[in-house]
A and B are shown apart, each in its own frame.
Chain A
C-alpha cells in the first residue's frame, strides 16, 4: 500500500450502468397469506431502490394484499407448512393460526419492516406500480373502491403482459 498520493484516476461507483437502463421487473402476487405477501414486497422495494421499474400484479388470493378489508389482516398458518418443524396436528388446534400470525408479525416488526399497507405505500412512493387482476375482481365482485387507493387500475392478464413487455418476471 502506498502512502503517497497516486495519480491513478479516482475510483467512482458506476450508478448508471448500461445494463440497468430500462430494466423492468414484473411481480405477480397470487398468495394471500402473510408469509407469502412479503417476498414480493421486499423484492419490489429492493428493485425500486436500484432504479428498476417495477409493476406488481395482484391476482387470486394475492387480491387480499390490496383489498382494503383484508390487507391489514393477512394471516400465517402452520397448517400444511412443514417448514415450521412442528407436528402438523398442532396447527389445527383452535387459536394456533392467530398465535402464529402474531408471532410472525412481531418478528417482522422487530426488523422494522412495515406491515402490508405501509409497505405498499413505501413501494408507491418509490415509484412502483400496483395493478389488480380483472378476473379476480369479477369473481369476488370487487371494484376499485374496495381496493387500496394507490392501485392504478383493474386490468386483464393481457393488459399486464402488454405493459410489462421486456420485463423480468417473478411469480409468487
Chain B
C-alpha cells in the first residue's frame, strides 16, 4: 500500500491512487484530489461528494451511480455532466472512498 503526498496531505492509496483509509480524507484534500483529475468543485459537486461520504458511513460501501441518483436525489444526467465519462469512479476518488463494487 503506497503512501503518497498531495499538497501536504500524506495519504495511503491503492495501486490506482484511490484512498484506502477514508479517515485520511477532508474537504481540503477533496479539492486537491479533484484538481488531479481536472475538476474544479462547485456546490453541485459537493452535494454528490457529501452524499457519498454520508452513505458510505452508514452502508460501509460506496454507492453506485443509481444509488446516488435514487437515494441521493441527484439526476443521472447531472452526475454525468459534473463528473464526465466515469462519474461513479470520479466521485469515489474525490470523496476518498473505494470504487463502487455494485453492478447497477
Interface residues of A (CB under 8 A from B): 1-3, 5-8, 10-16, 20, 42, 45-46, 49-51, 111-114, 122, 125-127
User: Which of B6, B18, B69, B104 makes the CB contact (< 8 A) with A113?
Assistant: B104
Asked if B75 and A125 sit within 8 Å, CB to CB, the answer is yes
CB distance from A95 to the nearest CB of B (A): 30
Asked if A42 and B103 sit within 8 Å, CB to CB, the answer is yes
Asked if A15 meets B37 with Cβ closer than 8 Å, knowing A50-B86, A114-B66, the reply is yes
Tell me if B1 is interfacial: C-beta within 8 Å of chain A: yes
Closest 8 CB pairs of A and B: A51-B85, A125-B76, A11-B17, A5-B5, A12-B36, A13-B17, A13-B16, A12-B17
User: Which of B69, B87, B93 makes the CB contact (< 8 A) with A13?
Assistant: B93
Per-position 1/0 for B55-83, Cβ under 8 A of A: 00000000001110110000111001000
Interface residues of B (CB under 8 A from A): 1-6, 10, 13, 15-18, 36-37, 65-67, 69-70, 75-77, 80, 84-90, 93, 103-104
CA distance A2 to B2 in the complex (A): 9
User: Which of A10, A16, A20 makes the CB contact (< 8 A) with B6?
Assistant: A10
CB distance from A114 to the nearest CB of B (A): 7
User: Which of A1, A7, A125 makes the CB contact (< 8 A) with B77?
Assistant: A125
CA distance A126 to B36 in the complex (A): 24
User: Which of B65, B76, B80, B104 makes the CB contact (< 8 A) with A112?
Assistant: B104
Instruction: Please name all residues of chain A whose beta carbon is closer than 8 Å to the beta carbon of B89 when the two chains form the complex.
Output: 13, 15, 49
Instruction: Please name all residues of chain A whose beta carbon is closer than 8 Å to the beta carbon of B1 when the two chains form the complex.
Output: 1
Asked if A1 and B3 sit within 8 Å, CB to CB, the answer is yes
**A43 to B, closest residue via Cβ:** B103
Instruction: Please name all residues of chain A whose beta carbon is closer than 8 Å to the beta carbon of B87 when the two chains form the complex.
Output: 49
Asked if B2 and A11 sit within 8 Å, CB to CB, the answer is yes
Extra contacts besides A11-B2, A13-B17 (4): CB < 8 Å: A11-B15, A49-B86, A112-B70, A125-B77
Asked if A6 and B4 sit within 8 Å, CB to CB, the answer is yes
